[in-house]
A = this chain, B = another copy of it.
Amino acid sequence: MTREIDFYFDFSSPYGYIASVKIDHLASKFGRTVRWRPFLIGAVYKALDCPSIPEQPAKFDYMRRDLPRSAAYYGVPFSFAPTFPEALLAPARAVWWLNDRDPAVAGAFARAAYHAYWAEGHRIGEPGVTADIAAGLGVDRDELLAALGDQAVKDRLRRETDDAIARGVFGSPYIVIDGEPFWGSDRLVQVEAWLESGGWPK
């Protein structure tokens, strides 16, 4: 049994951002670490044959209202990203490249990039912005920029997205603990209860 918690997310997912602020602290409380697993939610929507949330007016209207309210409820700084919706490839590729070098740095980068996008409105989809954030954490800026253009790194993100879909991931955040899946930032209370009790009768 792994002690890792799998945290599947897309940087364009604001509920993934809310969970990103909490998940490391929650995991460490129970002696766990977090494996940050970015994927491309556009591919998920395609696989589900479902319009994305921004393409569903009623749901999108609700989300724009629910998000600042939920962020305030959780005490998480939040400002609707001005460039949303968009595919955020650069930071997702960066996380996988960093995961192979130092998962703790990958996690720190993921949290920082999420914050830059959903609290400060930075354009993290641009490789230069992603590289700046990583450089602030001691990562070699030029080496990362080169990696972002590397076909192998691009393929890696695509493969990880396919693997996530094959595993049943259909939204962000999607958290798996010892095989038990939890979808959505609103499941964090159950994640905590689950870790506390070691699972409960179904």
Contact = CB atoms under 8 A, between A and B. Distances in A.
Contacts of A65: 180-181, 202
A58 B186 contact: no
A181 B62 contact: yes
A189 B51 CA distance: 29
Interface in A35-89: 48-51, 56, 58-59, 61-62, 65-66, 68-70, 72-73
A201 B62 CA distance: 17
B168 A58 contact: yes
A50 B52 CA distance: 10
Interface of A: 48-51, 56, 58-59, 61-62, 65-66, 68-70, 72-73, 165, 168-170, 180-184, 186-187, 189-190, 193, 200-202
B62 A170 contact: yes
Given A49-B51, A50-B50, A65-B180, 11 more contacts: A48-B59, A58-B169, A62-B181, A65-B181, A68-B202, A70-B190, A72-B202, A73-B190, A73-B193, A184-B186, A186-B187
5 contacts: A58-B165, A68-B202, A69-B190, A70-B190, A186-B186
B48 A48 contact: no
Nearest to A169: B58
A51 B51 CA distance: 10
A59 B181 contact: no
Contacts of A201: 72
A176 to B, nearest CB: 11
B59 A170 contact: yes
A200 B72 contact: yes
Nearest to A187: B186
B50 A200 contact: no
A137 to B, nearest CB: 32
Contacts of A182: 66
